Structure 1
Amino acid sequence: MIHKKRYIATLAIGITSLLLIAPLSMHGSPKDGALDPSIPPRKASASTWKQLADISHRSEPQVRFGALLSPANKSQRPVEVIVGLKSPGSRRGVWKGRILISPTERDAVESELAHMPGVSVLERDELPAVQITLDSPATFERLRRQPWVDYVEPAYASAELSSIGCTAPPPISNSTLDSSGDILPWNFPYHRIPEAWRRIASGPHGGPGQNVTIGVVDTGILQGNTQLTMPQFAAGQSSGRQVINIATPTIFNPYTTCDHGNRVSALIGAPRDGINMEGIAWKSNLINVASHTTVVVGHDEALSVVDGIRMAHTLGAQIITMAFGNHVVLGNLYLVGDTIRYEYYRTDLRPVLFVGAAGTTVCPFGATAYPGYLDEVIQVAGASEQHTPVYGESCYGESVDIAAVVGLGGIETAGAGPDQYLGLGSSSGATATIAGILALIWSEHPTWSRDKVRDRLYASAQGYRDPEMGWGVPDAFRAVGGLASLSINGPKFLDELSQPYMLSANTGFAEGPFSYLWSTGETTPTIHGIGPAKKLTPVTRTLRVTDTRDGTTLASTFTLRPEPTGRPCAREESDARICDH
């Protein structure tokens, strides 16, 4: 792979070119955006010319594709922006999987834009958006007044954030070796990932993550990391899978000195080969797309991130991991959000689940990171070993959907060589962990819809939604159908002596198959009995359930305790008892 840079770049450019020239799909009527009350209006852009000019710190705008025409007014430094387009009178140009401006109307709008004085058009996006330069505040104000303008956002930003996230913390040193000889990252047992592996291996669908493709849209991988390149990626017990390492045309090179994407990919899917550490979904396919150079993605890399998301989905990703973002103080990335929604609702490609970080140290006004807080993204926060927030390591808020254990230290991931280990923590480590668990669920249930996979993830956690940490910390073993809990359903009280009762096994959504053994000797999931003939005689029954597929066995005891009260049964009380009449 090291000697195929030209081929990789050509492939990336080719994919992007196909996307750009492909016919726009799922068009709605030009009036759909105005008439459909389910389509929310776009929030007005708060950008001012001064903000745009301050952001555009370079003396000349960056040309990403094609040639840049000279600005009409050379006394001003040109400012590069992205303009979203819509039908006049409509609320948006695109909503979810629908483009709400017709091709004919879009052509007319773009022609009008291109002929505006002071405007130079650089690039047309697949969605109704155009990258342009503006020469002056007057041109900017004239543009914003046009009825076909959906939004205006900067096309690049300051480089002051360019190194954030690229320095790996040291991994926690109390690691254990798995039976394969690989290091078992310390947070895996907190999610019962090894137990999930055992159950998946005992089933009909192969190993953990098998036939599931995960796209990692991030900073790329380290040049010397053989764990994430072929053939080592498919070595040992991870045989029969593929990895694709590519870059967007802007980034050009999938190999990088910023190790963030490398650590995310390794935690998700490093091979089980006895050499380094093992990833969560060590039989999954990976598509690593280098699309940006820092964890805090501003407007400077929004266009490249858009390319990365499209490339990963086009190449077959069912899960796309986005362990990056920005915060409300940096402004919205409208084109990135529109792209995520559009790809999420596409019907011509495989259904995709997006997984995004809640953000780490910069949490202004209690906000979480964009684009993770979009409804179409599973937003992930970090948690302690006790399933509580780890302030300073992760952001929290009502938009968070799920959490993963990251603690206060780095989780082990593969470095540049076989004997090198890096750490990954915070919300990035949490995001990678959840992406891997999703792959385990989907590999165990290959026919499930993405909604069912996501809902099973949520259901495997604490059972209620917390205002800071969403559904909490998931149990991977429970999520893949393992026997994670056992209780006995029965009456809370008996109204009469010698009253018939029924007890039944409650295995949650564990999938079995099961064998049952009651203390009475019965081997069915439900038994019947007769309550005591005397008041002070308890009824106690014990049940042992064994999952005959993976060997897990749990036991539970149920007792009806006689409790003379001198008054009728209080049905609101929860203790099971025999009532005293």
Structure 2
Amino acid sequence: MKKNLFYLFMLCSAVAACNRDDLQNSAANIEVVQKDPLTSRQINEKINETIRTKGRFSWKESSDHLVWSAVFQGNKIASIGFGSSFDRSLTADSKAVEEEILKVIQQYEGKTDRVVLSSDPYLNQMDVVIEKQETVMALRRMAGIRYLEPADYRYFENEQKFGGGAAKSGSSSSGCGLESMALNASDYTTVSPNAKAPWSFARHNITGAWNYSTGAGVTIGIIDSGVSSEQALLGSSFNNGLSSGRTITKNGVYVDSAWPWSSGYDGSADKCGHGTSMASAAAAPRNNQGQPVGVAYNASLVTYRAASNVVLDGYHEQNGVKTAFTELGNNTKVKIISMSMGHIFSVGKIEDGVKYAYSKGKLIFCAGGTSTSFTNFAGVIFPAWMPETQAITGVKENTSNQKCDICHSGSEIDFTYQMERASGSNIPVLSYYNGQTDYVGGSSVATASTAGIAALVWAKNPSWTRDQVLTKMRQSSTYYPNPNSDYGYGNINVLKAVQ
């Protein structure tokens, strides 16, 4: 279709340097070939076909018509990344570029009110209202645009609606659940003062590593669905037992609404259960109450309720995650970020947020993906495939290259964590409610546990850089120095990593 279109304007060194007369006189050159938007079903079919044939889908590589159709079907909200860098502070002309974008929108949309939904204070990213295909076409041809993509197109929700097998499990497996389960005695060992160490700790030599490091002095940021206000061991009793001198700070940056214009965060409390499990796996206290202990039981936590569940499929979910990454990036106390959520294709604003946090020296761990039949449809998910993140997946007990029944694998995986037993048991964690326990599995718990391992290594070597910590983790893993094609460096021997 693009061969039937004339370019809006010639390449410019910067958007602000383009001649406004050229913009005004080129309106007639925008030729719309396909005037009606695709249906949501048609959009999903194109996305699925691209993933099947190319292995990955990107809005950047999609036609103007497909992008506009998804914007149109997604409440007419578009996300725009602009400027020569993702970082607003590094681009002196950010404001000028942003103003030029708004002038183009005004020119083609014919309105000035209710155009800007949000403008990020740290990133060169904004969300705008766009109705016309011509506007999308004009903006995508501007030299200062890094990406333009739908900001509220709900792929998974539509797949469920249409009964699509590709994403059915990915969407319905939200990772949520407030239930509890009694632990089988064979799935833990009791350690002083009266805590339950999950079976996986012995497989990774974590309990032995505690003689050298407990995570003290390191802060982990967790981006998830929040932390339960009903679990005291992740609240007022965070320093119970042998855990001491640390803090847990809970934040909420999620707007619980299907309407993009809604505002007002709904608090830090977990309403899903997934975030509580991740916080427990990473840093639950070495308690005296007979409850599961986390990997880095003396590390501090900064948690974010950034989404309602693990599927980042809506405007407020994606906005919340972006905000969490930027705020954690600006938090000088945080060294490590763990996120066990994702999407099967990239989201520009989240990508910018990840890059921002990475530029601040953060060591970022992301889940490689967890699902059932969906595993056969997509490999490692976003943002775990980004070079700025460490992608983690779960494997079966006593292996480094047999993924769990619902875990993803692929060339982007960096480390593995044993989280599935032959009996089917996963990792014991604190439940949503006081005095109760549960099991959690998949690449989610593998990611949070590996973030805890990184905290042990960094606490042992507080002057190290992110790269030095990573090097030590790799050197202490199964496949070092030659990573496996689908499982990276494999399982980490944590005792070796802290010696």
TM-score bracket relative to the smaller structure? 0.7 to 0.9
Match of 2:414 in 1: 401
CA deviations on 1:439-470 (whole Å, 9 max, x unpaired) are: 00011111111110111011101223001110
Alignment partners' CA distance in 2, 1:271 and 1:150: 44
CA deviations on 1:477-525 (whole Å, 9 max, x unpaired) are: 00001xxxxxxxxxxxxxxxxxxxxxxxxxxxxxxxxxxxxxxxxxxxx
Give runs of aligned pairs for residues 148-297 of structure 1, distance below 5 A: 148-158=144-154, 159=157, 161=171, 164-167=174-177, 170=181, 173=184, 174=186, 175-200=188-213, 208-230=214-236, 232-248=237-253, 250=255, 251-275=265-289, 276-297=291-312
Offset at 1:97? Answer: 9.7
Match of 1:318 in 2: 335
Opposite residue 408 of structure 2, the aligned amino acid is C
Give runs of aligned pairs for residues 539-558 of structure 1, distance below 5 A: none
2:367 to 338, 357, 362: 357
Q: Say whether 1:416 aligns with 2:432.
A: yes
Gaps of 5+ in 2: 1-12, 16-57, 161-170, 256-264
Offset at 1:111? Answer: 4.2
Match of 1:392 in 2: 405
Alignment partners' CA distance in 1, 2:88 and 2:494: 31
Alignment partners' CA distance in 1, 2:59 and 2:152: 20
SS in 2 for 1:83: strand
Q: 1:298 to 1:467 in 2, by over 3 A?
A: same
- Say whether the 8 Å CA contact 1:170–1:410 is kept in structure 2: no
Q: Which has the higher strand share?
A: 1
Q: Say whether 1:335 aligns with 2:349.
A: yes
- Say whether the 8 Å CA contact 2:86–2:124 is kept in structure 1: no
Q: Say whether 1:445 aligns with 2:436.
A: no
> How many residue pairs get matched?
403
SS in 2 for 1:255: coil
Q: Normalising by the residue count of structure 1, what TM-score does the alignment of the two structures yield?
A: 0.65
Alignment partners' CA distance in 1, 2:472 and 2:418: 18
CA deviations on 1:1-25 (whole Å, 9 max, x unpaired) are: xxxxxxxxxxxxxxxxxxxxxxxxx
1:106 to 93, 97, 100: 97
Offset at 1:144? Answer: 2.5
> Highest CA radius of gyration, 1 or 2?
1
Q: 1:469 to 1:256 in 2, by over 3 A?
A: same
CA deviations on 1:351-382 (whole Å, 9 max, x unpaired) are: 21000111012335552011011111111011
SS in 1 for 2:199: coil
1:473 to 467, 491, 495: 491
Alignment partners' CA distance in 1, 2:314 and 2:229: 27
Alignment partners' CA distance in 2, 1:219 and 1:146: 37
Opposite residue 116 of structure 1, the aligned amino acid is Q
CA deviations on 1:218-260 (whole Å, 9 max, x unpaired) are: 0001231111112x00122112110001101534311122001
SS in 1 for 2:116: strand
Match of 1:128 in 2: 124
Opposite residue 148 of structure 2, the aligned amino acid is V
Offset at 1:304? Answer: 1.1
- Say whether the 8 Å CA contact 2:14–2:143 is kept in structure 1: no
- Say whether the 8 Å CA contact 2:94–2:124 is kept in structure 1: no
Q: 1:412 to 1:52 in 2, by over 3 A?
A: farther
Tell which deviates more after alignment, 144-153 or 124-133: 144-153
Alignment partners' CA distance in 2, 1:163 and 1:57: 24
Match of 1:370 in 2: 382
Alignment partners' CA distance in 1, 2:138 and 2:14: 23
Alignment partners' CA distance in 2, 1:253 and 1:457: 35
Alignment partners' CA distance in 2, 1:249 and 1:133: 21
Offset at 1:303? Answer: 1.3
Opposite residue 93 of structure 2, the aligned amino acid is S
Opposite residue 478 of structure 1, the aligned amino acid is K
Opposite residue 321 of structure 1, the aligned amino acid is S
- Say whether the 8 Å CA contact 2:88–2:124 is kept in structure 1: no
Alignment partners' CA distance in 1, 2:325 and 2:354: 8
Offset at 1:326? Answer: 1.1
- Say whether the 8 Å CA contact 1:340–1:376 is kept in structure 2: yes
- Say whether the 8 Å CA contact 1:96–1:344 is kept in structure 2: no
- Say whether the 8 Å CA contact 2:234–2:248 is kept in structure 1: yes
Offset at 1:317? Answer: 1.3
Alignment partners' CA distance in 1, 2:77 and 2:426: 39
Opposite residue 133 of structure 2, the aligned amino acid is P
Alignment partners' CA distance in 2, 1:57 and 1:43: 15
Q: 1:30 to 1:285 in 2, by over 3 A?
A: farther
- Say whether the 8 Å CA contact 1:82–1:153 is kept in structure 2: yes
- Say whether the 8 Å CA contact 2:346–2:382 is kept in structure 1: yes
Offset at 1:389? Answer: 1.7
Alignment partners' CA distance in 1, 2:457 and 2:192: 23
Gaps of 5+ in 1: 1-28, 32-41, 62-78, 87-92, 201-207, 482-581
SS in 2 for 1:395: coil
- Say whether the 8 Å CA contact 2:460–2:498 is kept in structure 1: yes
Alignment partners' CA distance in 1, 2:145 and 2:87: 18
Tell which deviates more after alignment, 244-253 or 398-407: 244-253
Percent identity over the alignment?
24
Alignment partners' CA distance in 1, 2:88 and 2:191: 44
SS in 2 for 1:318: strand
Give runs of aligned pairs for residues 473-512 of structure 1, distance below 5 A: 473-481=491-499
Q: 1:414 to 1:56 in 2, by over 3 A?
A: farther
Alignment partners' CA distance in 2, 1:297 and 1:149: 24
Alignment partners' CA distance in 2, 1:396 and 1:304: 27
Offset at 1:318? Answer: 0.6
Q: Normalising by the residue count of structure 2, what TM-score does the alignment of the two structures yield?
A: 0.75
Q: 1:96 to 1:353 in 2, by over 3 A?
A: farther
Q: 1:182 to 1:291 in 2, by over 3 A?
A: same
Match of 1:64 in 2: none
Flag as ranges the 4+ runs of structure 1 deviating above 6 A: none
Q: Which has the higher helix share?
A: 2
Alignment partners' CA distance in 2, 1:475 and 1:83: 43
Offset at 1:43? Answer: 7.8
Alignment partners' CA distance in 2, 1:111 and 1:419: 54
Offset at 1:100? Answer: 5.0
Offset at 1:114? Answer: 5.0
Opposite residue 83 of structure 1, the aligned amino acid is I
Q: Which has the higher contact order (CA 8 A, sep 6+)?
A: 2
